[in-house]
Structure 1
Amino acid sequence: MRQVLRFRFLIVWSLILTLLTLAGNAGCFPASVWGAETSDFSDGDGRMETLPAAAVPAEVMAPSVILMEASSGQVICEKNADERRSPASVTKVMTLILIFDALDAGKIRLEDEVVTSARAKAMGGSQVFLEEGEVQTVETLIKCIVIASGNDASVAMAEYLAGTEEEFVRQMNERAKGLGMTNTHFVDCCGLTEDPEHLTTARDIAVMARELITRYPQIQNYSTIWMENITHVTKQGTKEFGLANTNKLLKMATDFRVTGLKTGSTSRAKYCLAATAEKDGVELIAAIMAAPDYKTRFSDARILLNYGYATCKLYRDTQMPELPELSVKGGKEKTVPLRYEEEFSYLGMNGEDFSAVEKTLQIPEEAQAPLEEDEKIGVIRYELNGTVLGEVGILTDAQVERAGYIDSLKMTVERFLFF
């Protein structure tokens, strides 16, 4: 036994002397010590094989419409969805996104008090008749925007968040750019403008509506309110004012649950609507632009939503395979935990049998340090009868630093002492 220990001791010291010599000659360990070559990994182009959008039902009258599934962003059907048109008050969907962004970031609170400026008071069109100097909470102003489409409330919130409406509009356009809304340009925060440069498309409306309802589902707490009173407290005294929802789809008989979202109309834009609904866990978004009258925009939305729920079936993987810890070469840690980038969902429109879906994990056997947290390391791919439905990225769930000289020496000693 003593001879074995003595033999191991001599081996360890020989290795230490060798490593010290290498370090002194090269200033660092050679790549061959660390096994610098890593397993090649390719996840392909990473694109989902998206089904082409169908034509809209013939009964739809508006010249520009689109129907989208919210969780996947899959377009179900469309007509002239990329024609640039005036959105009227549907503009306020982006205004609401920025408000909820600020709430989410902790920059403002629902209880914060906002003072109405003379400019906000002077806004025409749909309004809740705020007076200059009147104080309302952020939550009350959200209700005024969502339920009654208050232009005065929109400007009051824009000024509260950004100092001026102009700066707020700049932020709106920046946010739109980040969402890939390439055919959108906002000029004001409420859509009252007749400026010919204030434009968007049905597709871009669906994109921003999707961002609002999926990122901030609490919007339904406001967009489903049919009627509610607010209280004006001004120099003239205190009085109640009734808010009535402009989205009449909420009161129409449907086979699905209407959850919102925003109406709009001006002489230039005609009648617009971003309608959202839910049924059996599937959320759909219908965007209507330039309908000839207010009844048509609601009937078009109902036709589109009925078509969507009759056609679509959503597959959502709620039991994604458990991920192993990945071996790390040359790191301070020997393994790194992994996580999925997001949940996988896919919208089928051809009566697919999703019980036959096959899942394939594509991750390397090991990775080379250093590794950043949230670094993409692989994918899980979903296939049905040989067709790729899509994939979800697999990310590192921790950072792993490259092992230094002392770390390497320690690991080498441990490996030979306890083999």
Structure 2
Amino acid sequence: MHTLKKMISVLISLVIAVSCFFMYDVEPLMAANIETSAGSAILIDASSGKVLYEKDAHKRLAPASVTKLMTLLIAAEALESGKVNLKDTVTASERACSMGGSQIYLEVGEKLSLEEMLISIAVGSANDACVAVAEHINGSLEEFVHQMNEKAKKLGLVDTNFINDNGLPAEGHYTSAYDLAIIAKESLKYPLISKLTSIKEYDLRGGKFKLYNTNKLLWWYEGTSGLKTGWTQEAKYCLASTVERNGLKLICVVMAVPEVRGHFAESMKLYNYGFANYSYKKFAEAGSKQGETTVQKGTAEKVDLIVDKAVGISIEKGKDKDYRMEISYDQTIHAPVVKGQKLGQMSIYNGDELQIEVDLVAKDDVAKSSLFGLMKKSLQNTYDFGKAS
């Protein structure tokens, strides 16, 4: 009887052990090791978008002032297209001045440069400046918000709908931690947004009004380079941030954190996990040559294929042996070729699983050769061939 009980006990222990093994084999290790008070959270690789940690990341929640990240993104696109200029004069309307919450207390008719308005949004989270910028860029707040929602659709975001451009409470105004992470990733394509959101303090109106950045990670956490905070009673504490260390750049979003300053503590907890468990592996330097292709009927016989930005990915520490790079491109193309034209592709795999794809582009322009040029080249080739024989 005693032997039977012992055998049953051993069998039960074995079943539990096997169950635990399969449970942890299926569920991400990160889910077992991290707890966060955030109602929703995500940590991603800023380069590839690879998700390193998530908790209810697609839950639709009020984002409060993290909304302003999309406002800054739309403004950055307008600047890049030449539609507006940082030196533009922006005049505050009555509607802009009527906004409550965080503000720079614009007066009707007050004029500031677009750059100062954007700094007020990025650093001081100014609701009034958001409306003034929207009206300057698109003529009306409604049209600007429409553009924000159109941009969300282009980014493939399905859990986002904006009612305003500053994040003040409004029915139907929502997004998710995942969607905000994608907006943040897109924002990092524009150096201006990183520059503005990393300003710690700024003297507005000739020093008469001081702005202090609401993102305390800029002071508290090494490698932080900006993005946006948010708080309302409905949304609680929210933060979309980005940190880079030793080449590894991460984006973290936490939403609906109940504790005061909890959005900073919870973000640092997730970053600590990310930097402890992942490292950055670079596969190619920005501008590096990855091959060359023959150009037919062109003023040059060949053109170099390069990557226009550094190529790398976050890799779980100790698990980098299975990563490999593949390059594909046509060996021959026809002129003309435009500098920056996509001519091939670099693919990074982990085993057989694709991780990222990056375009290979032409390093230089190659114009189409004239008839005279083609005849001259043909004669030269014939002559050289004759000499060689």
Decide: shared fold, TM above 0.5. Answer: yes
Change (3 A) 1:71 1:358: closer
CA distance in 2, matches of 1:84, 1:152: 25
Residue 5 (structure 1) aligns with: none
Q: 2:165 aligned with 1:202, yes or no?
A: no
Deviates more, 1:275-284 or 1:400-409: 400-409
Q: Which amino acid aligns with 1:156?
A: A
Q: 1:149 aligns with which of 125, 128, 137?
A: 125
Partner of 2:210: 242
Which shifted more, 408-417 or 370-379?
408-417
Which of 213, 228, 235 does residue 262 from structure 1 map onto?
228
Q: Report the equivalent of 1:326.
A: 293
SS of 2:289's equivalent in the other structure is coil
User: Which of 199, 202, 210 is the equivalent residue of 1:228?
Assistant: 202
Cα distance in structure 1, aligned partners of 2:98 and 2:29? 43
Q: 1:168 to 1:53 in 2, by over 3 A?
A: farther
1:204-243 residue CA offsets vs partner (Å, 9 max, x unmatched): 101111222x2123434332333333228xxxxxx92222
Q: Tell me, which stretches of 5 or more residues in structure 2 are unaligned?
A: 1-26
Instruction: Note the C-alpha offset of 1:179.
Output: 2.2
1:107 aligned residue: 83
Alignment of 1:52-71 (within 5 A): 54-55=30-31, 57-71=33-47
Answer whether contact 2:246 2:280 (CA < 8 A) is retained.
no
Q: Given the superposition, is the C-alpha separation of residues 340 and 109 from structure 1 closer, same or farther in structure 2, using an over 3 Å criterion?
A: same
What is the correspondence of 1:305-384 to structure 2 with a 5 Å cutoff? 305-319=271-285, 322-328=289-295, 334-340=301-307, 342-353=309-320, 359-367=325-333, 369=334, 373=338, 376-382=342-348
Measured against aligned partners, the alpha-carbon deviations of 1:59-109 in whole angstroms (never above 9, x if no partner) come to: 311121001121222211001111111111110001111222222333333
- How far apart, in 1, do the equivalents of 2:261 and 2:154 lie? 34
C-alpha distance in 1 between matches for 2:31 and 2:381: 66
Q: How many matched pairs?
A: 357
Matched, 1:162 2:138: yes
Residue type at the aligned position of 1:200: T
Larger mean Cα displacement after TM superposition, 262-271 or 81-90: 262-271
Task: Render the CA deviation track for 1:145-201: whole Å, top value 9, x for unaligned.
Answer: 112211001101111111100111111112222222232111111111322x21111
- Aligned CA distance change for structure 1 residues 280 and 401 (closer, same or farther; 3 Å): closer
Partner deviation per Cα, 1:357-383 (whole Å, 9 max, x = no partner)? 65444334434x366645544333445
1:85-100 to 2 correspondences below 5 Å: 85-100=61-76
Write the distance in 2 (CA, Å) between the matches of 1:294 and 1:343: 38
Residues 53 and 411 of structure 1: CA distance in aligned 2, closer, same or farther (over 3 Å): farther
**Gapped regions of structure 1 (runs ≥ 5):** 1-50, 233-238
CA contact under 8 A between 2:96 and 2:132: conserved in structure 1?
yes
Instruction: Flag the 1:134–1:352 CA change in 2: closer, same or farther, 3 A.
Output: same
Distance 1:56 1:83, change over 3 A: farther
Q: Percent identity?
A: 36
> For residue 116 of structure 1, what is the aligned residue in structure 2?
92
TM-score (norm 2): 0.79
Give the aligned residue type for 2:201.
M
Contact 2:294–2:332 at 8 Å: present in 1 too?
A: yes
By how many angstroms is 1:203 displaced? 0.6
Amino acid across the alignment from 1:340: V
Q: Quick check: 2:327–2:346 contact (8 Å CA) kept in 1?
A: yes
Structure number, greater radius of gyration? 1
Per-residue CA deviations over 1:314-353 (Å, capped at 9, x if unaligned) read 1123448634442245667654443336432111013235
Q: Which amino acid aligns with 1:142?
A: L
Q: How far is 1:391 from its partner? A: 4.3
- Within the candidate set 285, 288, 302, 2:268 is matched to 302
